Amino acid sequence: MRKIEIIDVGPRDGLQNEKVLFSTQDKISLISKLEAAGIKRYEATSFVHPKLVPQMADAEDVMAGLAPNPDVTRIGLALNVRGYARACDAGVDEVNGVLTASDGFGVKNQGADRNKQLDILAEMAHAARADGMPLTVTISTAFGCPFDGDVPPADVARMAKAAAEMGIVEIAIADTIGAGTPWAVTEVIKAVRAVAPQAQLRAHFHDTRNTGLANAYAAVEAGVDILDASVGGMGGCPFAPAATGNIATEDLVHMLHRAGFETGLDLEALIETAHWLKTPLGRPVPSKLSKAGVFSGQARVAPKAAPQTAQ
C-alpha cells in the first residue's frame, strides 16, 4: 500500500492569519492533539519578526512548552539566518526556508526579491550543513502571485534547481493563494523534476478557490508522497490578500484512506481536534469532514421493529 506522509501545518500556516490570538497553551494543546492523532512531522511555529506576524511572537515559548517526543519532527519556519538561529536555539528538529517563485510576493512577504532570497538561502544552507540541521525549502506562489499574476513553471523550476544545488533534499511546491489547477500541478512538478531530479518533492495547497483537494490528487498522481495540510482547514497568509485555509488534514486523509493509501493517522482524532478548534477560534473550522463525519463504507443497520405489546 502506498504511504503518503502528511505534514500538518496548522500550528504555523493555519494559525498565522487568524485574527484571534491563540494563547501559547492553546498552541501547545493543538500540537499535542496532532501528535496524539499520529502526525509525525509538523510545522510547529515560525521564527519571523513578531511585529510582522504577531500570532507567532511566542515561538520560543511554544517550543519550550512541548513535551519531548523523539518520534516526531518539529519544523520551524525561518526566512533568514537570524530566524534560522532562533529556530535552532529553540530546539526545532528541522528548519524550513522559503523561496518565492515571483518577486512581488517575495518583496511583500520576506522583503527580498528572488535573487536576494537565493543568497539568504545559501547562507542558511551553509549554516545548516555545519550544524547538521535538516533544512527543507518551500517555493511559494508556484502557481500564481497576488502581485505579479501568472507564474511560469520555468520560474518555479529555476528556484528549485538553485535550492537542489545548495544540497537541499526536500522541496515543497506551494500554491499560496489557491491559483493552481490539477493540470498546472502536473506541469509544474514535471518542470521541477526536469531540473532537480534527485529532490524529494512535497506539495502545499490552499483551498482558496476550491481546487485544493483536486490539486492534491494531481500531486499524488504525479508521484509526490508528501503533502502539507492543516487540521480543520485553518489558514491563510497575512501578506497574500484573501488567502484562505490550507486543505484540511482530515478531508485529505479521508480521501486518501478511501482510495487505499496509508497515512498512519487517526481520522477520528483529527476530526475531534477540528471540533476542539472551535473554542479558541470562536467559530467552526471550514473542513468538510468535521461536519459530515467519516463515511465508514458499512451498510446502515436497520432499526429493529418495536416489539408488539399485549393488548
Nearest distance in Å: CB 109, Mg ion: 10
> Binding string, 8-37, against Mg ion, x = CB under 5 A?
-----x------------------------
Exposed, middle or buried: residue 52 (CB in 10 Å: 0-12, 13-18, 19+)?
A: middle
CB-nearer residue toward Mg ion: 70 or 209:
209
The H or E element that residue 29 is part of is helix 24-36
Q: Judged by CB under 5 A, how many residues of this single chain contact Mg ion?
A: 1
CB-nearer residue toward Mg ion: 13 or 35:
13
Please report, as residue ranges, which positions from 134 to 193 form the binding site for Mg ion (by CB under 5 A).
Answer: none
Active site residue 145: no
Q: What SS3 state is found at 256?
A: helix
Q: Yes or no: say if 10 and 230 are a contact pair by the CB < 8 Å rule.
A: yes
Exposed, middle or buried: residue 192 (CB in 10 Å: 0-12, 13-18, 19+)?
A: buried
CB-nearer residue toward Mg ion: 91 or 238:
238
The catalytically annotated residue of 7, 101, 237, 274 is 237
CB-nearer residue toward Mg ion: 9 or 121:
9
DSSP-assigned letter for residue 246: B
What is the rounded distance in angstroms from the CA atom of residue 237 to the CA atom of residue 101?
Answer: 16
Nearest distance in Å: CB 270, Mg ion: 19
Q: Which residue is nearest to Mg ion (CB)?
A: 13
What is the rounded distance in angstroms from the CA atom of residue 277 to the CA atom of residue 232?
Answer: 8
Nearest distance in Å: CB 180, Mg ion: 12
Nearest distance in Å: CB 75, Mg ion: 13
Q: Yes or no: say if 18 and 54 are a contact pair by the CB < 8 Å rule.
A: no
Binding site for Mg ion (CB under 5 A): 13
Residue numbers annotated as active site: 237
